[in-house]
Structure formats: structure tokens, C-alpha cells
Structure 1
Amino acid sequence: MPRHDRLTRRGFLAQSATAAGAVLAAPALLPAAAPSETVNLAFIGAGGRGGRNLKTMTSQGHVDVNVVALCDVNGANLDRAASMFPKARKYVDFRKLFEKTDDIDAVVVSTTEHTHAYATMPALQLGKHVYCEKPLTHNVHESRRVMEAAAAAGVATQMGTQIHGMPNYRRVVELIQSGAIGPVREAHVWVSRAWGLQSKEEAEKNRDIVHVTDRPKEAMTPPDHLDWDLWIGPAPYRPYHEVYFPGPKWYRWWDFGNGTMSDLGSHWNDLPFWALKLDAPKTIEAFGPEPHPEIAPASMSAVYEYGPRGEMPACTLTWYQGDHKPKIWQEGGIPQWGNGVLFVGDKGMLLSDYGKHVLLPEKEFADYERPEPFIPDSPGQHEEWLIACKTGAETGSPFSYAGPLTEANHLGNVAFRAGRKLQWDAKSMRATNCPEADQYLGREPRKGWSLG
């Protein structure tokens, strides 16, 4: 029987689960004390997510901040941000930004995925606090380098997975770790987004933002406001084309992103990773269409096997995207949420999405009394990090946590591209049974670029 069918073996759970589970509400966010000293910030990436990070961090009321530097390869984004902070220095190349950092306390990285590590590493090496958008890096080797640099620097770090700071995930973690559904031996994570390699009909059905099946043969002229060479950064050079830019078109291309697994996996796999205290998987096996050398798939799945962790038993985590879904979901054994995380324990199940969760079967948990909250609520990921910059307090998604999560997401893609079940040795960063997987674990940067 395929791995995807294992959940149906727990027949007593599937038969008693109902689509009308009792949704458990979570309490509101709690404010935190605000240090009064100013944090001097540099923003690398000022449009899209970078623009939202800029707005949030400069409007929160917990820590006084000062924007001293702005950088973006997109001149339109840079000019827009600079109009709001005219005293900030402006850069197009973040390598130039790091030539003057005496007045910078902390750096916010919101660039395209393939340049995250290249903006993060020099900041860490200079002893700056770093907030980096998800996914933390473009590949496994970069994740390990960033983790090591963060540990050596001893600064405040945070990967931008804003859902991690919301109450719902905290309440789910408390339920799982309090034994509400007993020992958990399976977790299933699915997202309905299907962006990537697929037919034109599928792309239209799935509302993909661009349909492409191979690298364009023709080149196009980049927009006047875009420095295309700097946008390419450490990746192998290719001529500009509108199928790469603006984002998030780029995320399907292996050279620049890692598809849905890397992007949304940072949010959705975060919950079982946290609740089940996961780290490095022992094996990874992926399923999907024939791998394309350039483009990530729209639909795929990956199975991770984890060993025991303290009192927690060995377990599997299965990821599904696009058309791939858990068998119990397909058969209507649980509420058919478009995106979700399902924990399967010896005493029941817990289903969650970003904002709500439900214990199943409903009848068995009708009188369940949840544990008293023991994970403090967060003022928000941005605020949490800014407070940590001033006080040394902990953050919810430091690079010591986000690094292994990012590595695991990348390994699902590595297994998919290698076409084999991987026996993973985390210490040596290699699949002991599959040397051909090495080519997908990292890459040499283009001339002029280095992680230091």
C-alpha cells in the first residue's frame, strides 16, 4: 500500500471523525513591555513583503526604531520607501550597504529567496541582529552556514513566518504536548496552492500567476527601474524575461526559489515541527511527476520519517501540495479544509489551519478541558524580534529553529529531484545512499558573490 494510504489504517478514528468538529478558540495577543532605546535598522528589500515589513516595524509601539539604510534592486521600490524615510541612505547593491554599518544595529532581509543567505551572512558576521523572511535560505548548505553564523554571533534572529506568532499555533502546540490526543505517530500537512509545472488547463484551473513549461528561448528588455544583474545575484546568469519577474513568478524556478514546498512549507510544516519537536529527518521520499530540470512541480508530496525525540515516539510527517491530499481527506473522514495540518494520535486527532483548530472525533472531546496555556502569547513576530534586539529576550523562530525547518523543507525537494528515498545523515549533510542528491544540496555562487 502506498505511503499516502497509511492514515486509513486507523479506521476507528476515520469512522468516528465528523465534519462538524468543535472549533477551539484561542485567546488574544498579549502586549509586551517596550524598551525605550532606539534600534537603528537597515532594510534590504523595500517592496512587496519588504515594504510590509518596513511599515510594520516602523509603526509598532513596542520599540523605538530609526531607518538608517534602504536597499532594493528595484528602483521604484527604493524610491517609494525613500520618500517615507528621506534621511536613510539608499543602495541598489546590498554589498555596498555593508561597507558602512557603524550606525546599523539590525538588518531586515526581504529579498528574493536565492539572495536571502547572501544578505544575511554579512550582517551576522558583522554582529548585527537579523530578521530574514522565509524561507531562510535557498538550499541546505546555506541553511547550515546561516545557523552556524548566527550561533557564533550571538545576536537576535528571527525568520519571518508571521503565523508562528499568532495564538492558534500556540494553543495547538500546548494540546499536542499535553497529550490531548495521546502519542502522535503521524502528521499530515496539505496546501491547495498549485503553482509550478503543469498543463495550461491545470494552470488556469489552479489560478497560477504564470504558465510556463520551459526556460524561454527569447530575451526581453528589463524594466528601466530594475537592475537585472543584481537581481540575479549569486544565481547563474540568464537574460531577463517576464516569466521570472516580478515576484512571486520566480519562486517556481529552481535557480531562484524552490516552489510551494519551500514557500508555504515554512508556514505549514512549522506547526508539526514545533509541536512534535522535530529536527532532522532520518529518511525522505517524494512523489510526483517527472522532475523538470528548471521548474518546481505544481503538485507533489513528500514523506519524512523521524526517530524518537525524548518521550515522543518515532513518527512520519507527510507533505501534500496541489492535487495531492491525504487519503482520509479524500474519503471525507475529516473536515475537508483546503489547507491544514492533521495530527494523528493514539487517542484521537487534531486538525488545524492558520486561525482555528478542532479535536476529532467531536463526541469524544465534547467535554474535554484544555490545559492552561503555558506558551506565552506573542506581541507579533516583528515586535518580538525588535524587543529581543534590545533586551536579549528569546524569539519564536530564531535561526537555530528556523534553520532545521528550512533544511527539512529543502530535503523534500531534494528527494523529489533525485528520484529516490534518501537516507539522511544530518551531521555530514549528505544522503548516504544517494550521492546524486549532492548536486541539489547547494551550489557555487556566480563570480563576485560569496557567503564569506
Structure 2
Amino acid sequence: MGHYSLFPLFETLGITKSPTSAKAFGTTTREEVNQVYQWVKNDVAFPASCMIKWKFPEQEKLPAFDLFWYDGGMKPFAPEELEMDGKDTPEEGLMLMGTKGKILGGFRGENPVLLPESKLMAGRDAERINSREVERMTDSWVDSMLEGRQTPGSFVRAQCITDTINLGAIALRSGKKVDFDANLLRITNDEAANQFLTRTYRKGCEI
């Protein structure tokens, strides 16, 4: 899962309050045992593809909302606005669904278009970017440490999105909907799932 694809969304919309729950479905494999196929439990790696749904509380400038993630070839069916134009959901991207319409952008929300595309988004041409031509600040991390300042990817700013990604992973491993209290940093509806919030580090690697 990509912090890097969701981080612009969290930053732009001011999402700073962590999700209250997550539910996930992941693909798995099956093996033949006595001529009967059985599911193979996977506790060591992410599935080949998955779908995750988070519920978020009201934010400073946003009402409560749901966030959906699809990967590994999974994606939502094309909304009516795309079907009207004879198009399908792209292989990757980010779609915002509001009460008055939908906006479809690239993997990080770049080059947004209003759906249906026949409706123009005034002033958006100036915001279109070519991701392949974006200059990467490769020394930003090191420079920030040497100068004692925060990077654009500050751990402080990334707390909410990190909670989000981790909670999705916990939902996948738990195989059920998990409720999360961000203040207590605990799963409140499944005590066993709290084991995934921490880990035992190897000697010499403790934090």
C-alpha cells in the first residue's frame, strides 16, 4: 500500500484525525489436500490484491467520510459518468466522490478531471503536471537532518496516514472489521488484534 499516493490527499484535504475503523478483504491461495481444495492462511506477506474500507470521523473542514483502497488489479466498477463517455475505471488513480459530483485524478491525484469529462473544471489546466518530469528532491531527507528541520514528509505530519495504512494491514491480518481508538492507540473490539500494533524487536534493534 502506498503512503506516497494517499499523502497528497491527506495534505490537501486536511485529514488529520485517524480512522475509527477498517475492514478488508484480501486474495489468498488454495492447495489440494486429499483431492479437496483448502484455503492457505498467509501471515507473512500482503495478499496479491486486496480491498480496504476505512471510516473517518469528521475533520476540521470535512464531514465524516469513507475511504476505499483497491490494489493488485482490483478496482471499483466504472461510475455512471465514465460509462456515459464510453470509458472504464483507469488501471490506477484516485477518485473523489462528493454529494454534487466526482473528480478523477492520477495515482497521486494529479491532472484532475470533473466527471463526466464534458464538464470543465475552470482553471485546472494550470494544475496539470507530467509526473515523469517532476524533479525529485533526492537530498531533501539528508539536508533536513543536517539543518535540523522537518522534511516535507515529516513523521509528525504523517501520523494520521500512518495510522490509516497500519490499521488497514491489521484488518487484513485479523480477517474482520477492527475499531480503533486513536487516543488510546488500541483496537477496541478485538483484544487479540492489539498484538499487531507492536512488535518484539531483535536484540540491538530496540527503539
TM bucket, shorter chain = 0.7 to 0.9
For the Cα contact (< 8 Å) 2:22–2:177, is it kept in 1? Answer: yes
For 1:445, the equivalent position in structure 2 comes to: 201
Q: Distance in 2 between matches of 1:383 and 1:447?
A: 31
1:372, distance to aligned residue in structure 2 (A): 8.6
Q: 4+ residue runs of structure 1 moved beyond 6 angstroms?
A: none
Give CA deviations for 1:144-168 in whole Å, capped at 9, x if unaligned.
Answer: xxxxxxxxxxxxxxxxxxxxxxxxx
1:335, distance to aligned residue in structure 2 (A): 4.7
Superposition pairs of residues 68-217 of structure 1, within 5 angstroms: none
For the Cα contact (< 8 Å) 1:301–1:321, is it kept in 2? Answer: yes
Structure showing greater radius of gyration is 1
Amino acid in structure 2 at the alignment position of 1:272: L
1:306 aligns with 2:60: no
1:284, distance to aligned residue in structure 2 (A): 0.7
Aligned partner of 1:337 among 90, 115, 140: 90
Q: Distance in 2 between matches of 1:358 and 1:301?
A: 24
1:315, distance to aligned residue in structure 2 (A): 0.9
For the Cα contact (< 8 Å) 2:19–2:55, is it kept in 1? Answer: yes
Aligned partner of 1:349 among 82, 102, 118: 102
Give the TM-score of the pair, scaled to structure 1: 0.36
For the Cα contact (< 8 Å) 1:381–1:396, is it kept in 2? Answer: no
For 2:32, the equivalent position in structure 1 comes to: none
Greater fraction of residues in strand: 2
Greater fraction of residues in helix: 1
Percent of aligned pairs sharing the same letter:
30
Shift in alpha-carbon separation, 1:329–1:299, aligned structure 2, 3 A:
farther
For 1:204, the equivalent position in structure 2 comes to: none
Q: Distance in 2 between matches of 1:417 and 1:289?
A: 12
Q: CA RMSD in A?
A: 3.0
Shift in alpha-carbon separation, 1:370–1:331, aligned structure 2, 3 A:
closer
Superposition pairs of residues 352-391 of structure 1, within 5 angstroms: 352-354=105-107, 356-365=111-120, 368-370=122-124, 380-385=136-141, 388-389=144-145
1:316 aligns with 2:66: yes
Q: Distance in 1 between matches of 2:100 and 2:148?
A: 40
Give CA deviations for 1:116-139 in whole Å, capped at 9, x if unaligned.
Answer: xxxxxxxxxxxxxxxxxxxxxxxx
1:299, distance to aligned residue in structure 2 (A): 1.0
1:411 aligns with 2:201: no
Shift in alpha-carbon separation, 1:330–1:369, aligned structure 2, 3 A:
closer
For 2:130, the equivalent position in structure 1 comes to: none
Q: Distance in 1 between matches of 2:79 and 2:5?
A: 17
1:363, distance to aligned residue in structure 2 (A): 2.4
1:422 aligns with 2:163: no
Give the TM-score of the pair, scaled to structure 2: 0.74
Q: Distance in 2 between matches of 1:335 and 1:272?
A: 22
